[in-house]
Amino acid sequence: MTGTHALVLGGSLAGMLAAAALSGHVDRVTVVDRDRFGDDGDRKGVPQGRHAHVLMAGGSRALDELLPGLTASLLDAGAQHLGMPNRLLVFTQSGWLPRLDEMQFVIGCSRALLDGVVRQRVLDRVDLVEATDVVGLLGDRTKVTGARVRDRDTGVKRDIGADFVVDATGRGSKADSWLADLGLPPVQDERVDSGMVYATCLYRVPPGAGEDFPGLSIQGDPRSSRFGQGGALVPIEGRRWIVSLAGTRGGEPEISPEGFLAFARGLRHPAIADFISAAEPLTRPFGFHATVNRRRRYERLSSWPSGFVAIGDAACTFNPVYGHGMTVVARQAVALRDGLAGHGFDGAAAKRLQREFARVMDDAWAMAVSQDLRYPGTIGPARGRITRLQERYLDRLVLAATGRPTVTRAQLDAYTLSTPLRKLMLSPRVILDVLRGPGRPPTTDAPYTEAESRVLRGVDEPR
């Protein structure tokens, strides 16, 4: 489009990736954000930014497709490649996954590092307007033509015209109200709230722990506890561990240092407590409460204005404990780029893109909601008979994954959003091995090497 302008509302990860996707299709991209950006990558508008984040393999591949070499830049800056199930050790509801050669991976790093590296790659392509609130959309029910913004320092409002507008304002998006003001009908709003709370603390990696020292994921078991208590210990840059502990309504973690350790010790396996007992805490624990799964079903509106889409948390937020949010938005940004490359900015482009964004969200939404709904204190729709049958199959699958590598791989492929979730339900080989079961009793002994065990006992590796 010659002489065209795209406007991105929000400078989050979603906003920056959307700007990168748009930059090859328009002459100018403007990103508007309510915050000012620091050189360290921190941004006040990321409320969960200090907590554990992982970029799933599916998201890493999407970022590299959109911004070639991005994952390598993260690793060069200290981010950690955590192979699964060899370096990220997972204690499922049925026992430990076997410590096999890498099948999938996640990237562990602070959110500030990820945002900072992405921003360095994108900012030279865009005009950035900081300390500015978005107060509404311009246009009518058939076409969005820009946004009205307000300077946070002066309070002065002005209009910014655009040929294409992307809402990336996150969990607090007001796009449903803005669209209603333009005359569109109300949007269906789905919510599932487990009441989950999580707490996080940073630790220095203990002496003797090598560069490939593992991370941990301890998952809750909805069959044996009414509280979805679990945790993750993720190696990140700077030889640090970021440890997040979580519990659903009535089983929340404490945020005192003593309570944090006691909660970790009381999980279904004490592995995280053993790790942090051998490490030096760098912060006090701090908490986070905004974990509601919320999906605004924009794709189901019968009418949709041209020139406008909502991406990432602005359309769908997942319980952050499952770690899928960044991966979903990376894949949506690729879909945005590819959709514009294939169809341009014709009148139906925005509606087509919004539906594609919804398809990208579906698997992560299904995984988060299906797990949260299993806890008695969750506020959400009742589980029907078909849902309960699916749960029984998936429980059997998790059990089989502790002993059948075929199932282990399929589970990790789906969890890292590398293959469609339906493969777990439709692959004849996977189904057969699920029905056969693990072939041996699952182990509850953590699969540490002898060198790792020495570190946890406080004994350095021999020189």
Q: Where are the domains of the chain?
A: 5-53+110-191+292-369
Peptide bond into 85 cis (omega under 30): yes
Residue among 415, 437, 414 nearest 426 (CA):
414
pTM above 0.85, yes or no: yes
The predicted model gives 146-174 an average pLDDT of 97
Which structure tokens are listed for 355?
Answer: 């539906």
Which structure tokens are listed for 12?
Answer: 């989050």
Residue among 207, 208, 219 nearest 244 (CA):
219
**Percent of the chain having pLDDT more than 90?**
90
Question: Is residue 44 pLDDT above 90, yes or no?
Answer: no
For residues 447 and 46, the model is more confident at 447
Question: Is residue 45 pLDDT above 90, yes or no?
Answer: no
As a whole number of angstroms, the distance between CA 313 and CA 25 comes to 24
Is residue 12 a contact partner of residue 4, using CB atoms and an 8 Å limit? no
Q: Please, which residues bridge with residue 413 across strands? A: none
Question: Is residue 39 pLDDT above 60, yes or no?
Answer: no
For residues 160 and 36, the model is more confident at 160
- Burial of 76 from C-beta contacts in 10 A (0-12 / 13-18 / 19+): exposed
As a whole number of angstroms, the distance between CA 309 and CA 189 comes to 17
Of 45-49, 110-114, 226-230, the range with the lowest mean pLDDT is 45-49
As a whole number of angstroms, the distance between CA 151 and CA 196 comes to 35
CATH architecture classification, 5-53+110-191+292-369? 3-Layer(bba) Sandwich (3.50)
Question: Is residue 183 pLDDT above 50, yes or no?
Answer: yes
Which structure tokens are listed for 172?
Answer: 């607090």
Q: How high is the pLDDT of residue 225? A: 86
Model confidence band, residue 463 (pLDDT cutoffs 50, 70, 90): very low
Mean residue pLDDT across the chain? 94
**pLDDT, tens digit (0-9, with 9 covering 90-100), for 261-278:** 999 999 999 999 999 999
Question: Is residue 326 pLDDT above 80, yes or no?
Answer: yes
Model confidence band, residue 1 (pLDDT cutoffs 50, 70, 90): very low
Residue among 374, 354, 361 nearest 325 (CA):
361
Residue with tokens 């008979």: 385
**Percent of the chain having pLDDT more than 70?**
96
As a whole number of angstroms, the distance between CA 299 and CA 309 comes to 10
